[in-house]
Amino acid sequence: MLIDFKLEKLSGHATSGKVGKILKKVNDKVAIGDEILNIESKKGNVSVSSNVSGIIKSIEVNTGDTVKKGDVLAKVEGEQGATANTNSPKKPSNSGAGFNYMGGLMKPKKEDIDIDITIIGAGPGGYVAAIKAAQLGAKVALIEKENIGGTCLNWGCIPTKAFVRSASVFKDLKEADSYGLSAENVSVDINNVVNRKNEIVAQLVGGIEFLIEKNNISLFRGHAELIDSNTVFVKHGNKETTIHTKDMILATGSKSSTVPIKGVDSENVITSNEILNIKSMPKSLVIIGGGVIGMEFAFIFKNLGVDVTVVEFANSILEALDDDISSEIASVAEEKGIKVYSSSKVTEILDTENKEKIVVFSKDEKKHYVTGDKVLLAVGRQPNMDGLDLQKLGIDLNDRGRGIKVNEKMQTNIPNIYAIGDVTNIIQLAHVASHQGIVAVENILGHDATMNYDVVPSAVFTDPEIGVVGLSEKEAKKQNIKISTGVFPFEANGKALTLGESRGFAKIIKDKNTNKILGASIVGPHATDLIHELALAVKNGLKDVDIIETIHAHPTTSESIHEAALASTSLGAIHFSE
Ligand SMILES: Cc1cc2nc3c(=O)[nH]c(=O)nc-3n(C[C@H](O)[C@H](O)[C@H](O)COP(=O)(O)OP(=O)(O)OC[C@H]3O[C@@H](n4cnc5c(N)ncnc54)[C@H](O)[C@@H]3O)c2cc1C
């Protein structure tokens, strides 16, 4: 049995540390209690001992790497029952500065507690719900089996955006001459890119842990099991807790989907989780899936200098967006040298003699082959309902069993059980999960809150960025809503030119008769921030004139919104004419 040997504790409240001396090597035999490595952090040093007996099969870290709690340090081939609990700090090590935290093989302690609201999963859905419930005076238990912050903080929103930033700094340095500068010998050190990402994640996770503690939320680190609609069981460290709860919120998130094709489980076929901890730069990367996650990684790795190919099943990349937005991104991708194959069905993944991957796909009834050092699977995410035994409780699922079914109050068919976030599979975004969490908590505590998905901004961190909110042109057509649009290109915006980022446009969609703003799409610099002015407009039923009469500062990219509102009228924009 291959066991992940994870970092369970750091000194004091440290959230991350650096790997110091590694005392063991691959194929060494280890017994429980053997020292494997040292971790140095600002708060002191920790000597890390094995909680496993067996043979070390791989060491997953290098001296100097930044690591945080929960990171896998080594993989050990052990026997069933070859692990000991590690959650309790132990006696100080003889180095004086640190401590050895190897736990004993003690009998689990059992306890029963009474709680108002038990929340399973501490992602942006669960932890926000927990804080809100505690603020409103409820006694709250929060259970997390892996990392506080869930997918978003550890493997999603934040890590990807740290990569986006590293990639964009690298790109700017490579293009320094276009800004009148010179930068020579610029190169990527992917280990440091990953380390920077880890430090940002650790800082944010530490912040959430602080808030959980500050709000007196009882945090349990373990896998939650549902016993009945008022009872949850969690084994954490050397304890087994039975929680008797009035209400419950399921916030167990999602996991990467896969495709049932030959070779999908082979070496160097990876998911977003793995690529965010990549140890060496691939020369070439094939991405299966041209949706949001796939396209964000396509631009990240292209900007880092990797040869990128995207294979997408749908007729275009970012198919859910309006055609003008996805085709603008497709043409920037092409200019940058990202190869995109749409309407293409991947059929198998093979290996060349020298371990390169061959992705085979069919397009126009012909077989095509593309090669890469690594293949990234970005084919969507599925609700994570593993081990919850929802059937036992009679909890209804969505159509085709994809996600937990909820009403607009986030309540399942069992009145005291609510579900929020990706596990409901309604809109898989962090801010939606958080908002759903607040709605669930307010309903549990006797307020009357409902979830409305008409005004959900979404942000896509391609290069250039995309921000969309409210009604799209595609949706208006489907629903037969009469609209008119106003479009303003960033090439006519002074700030965009100074930034050297003049691709894209801002588009406002308004009701043709009432002039009320119904939606907007922006592709261009700062689009993910700019979209919120329009979210406020849509939410509050504002009209084009409300934006037109609002003075926008010069020179800013937000002037593009002012101009798009002008462009939606018969007089047209001031600073642009076709
Ligand atoms: C690569 C990538 C990039 C992304 N970028 C963005 C972005 O830029 N913006 C955005 O809005 N969204 C983004 N997302 C989506 C976002 O991460 C999710 O929508 C969000 O994390 C969902 O929150 P959640 O709380 O529902 O679930 P999660 O964040 O998945 O958290 C669920 C938690 O529940 C825990 N859990 C599950 N089962 C149990 C159990 N039985 N017992 C105890 N704990 C359990 C899990 O360990 C996990 O920590 C991205 C996702 C990915 C993969």
pLDDT value for 154: 97
DSSP 384: -
The one catalytic residue among 223, 435, 554, 562: 554
pLDDT along the chain (578 residues), means of 10: 81 73 81 78 70 82 80 78 42 34 62 98 98 98 97 98 98 98 97 98 97 98 96 93 98 95 96 96 98 98 98 97 98 98 97 94 96 97 94 93 96 98 98 98 97 97 98 97 98 98 98 98 98 98 98 98 98 95
Whether 236 is catalytic: no
CA of 274 to the centre of ligand 1 (A): 15
Pocket residues for ligand 1 (CB within 6 Å)? 120-126, 143-146, 150-152, 155-157, 160, 223-224, 251-254, 272, 293, 384, 387-388, 421-422, 428-431, 433, 459
CA of 204 to the centre of ligand 1 (A): 15
Helix (H) or strand (E) holding 284: strand 284-288
Whether omega before 383 lies within 30 degrees of 0, making that bond cis, reads no
* Spacing of C-alpha 77 from chain mean position: 31
Q: 25: alpha, beta or left, given left = phi > 0 and alpha = psi -120 to 50?
A: beta
Query: What is the Cα gyration radius of the chain?
Result: 26
pLDDT value for 86: 42
Q: CB neighbours (10 Å) of residue 213?
A: 11
* Spacing of C-alpha 152 from chain mean position: 4
pLDDT value for 16: 79
pLDDT value for 152: 98
What CA–CA distance (Å, rounded) separates 343 from 357?
21
Q: Which atom from ligand 1 is nearest to the alpha carbon of 422?
A: 26
Q: Which atom from ligand 1 is nearest to the alpha carbon of 458?
A: 11
* Residue whose CB lies within 8 A of the most ligand 1 atoms, among 127, 128, 151, for a mutation test: 151
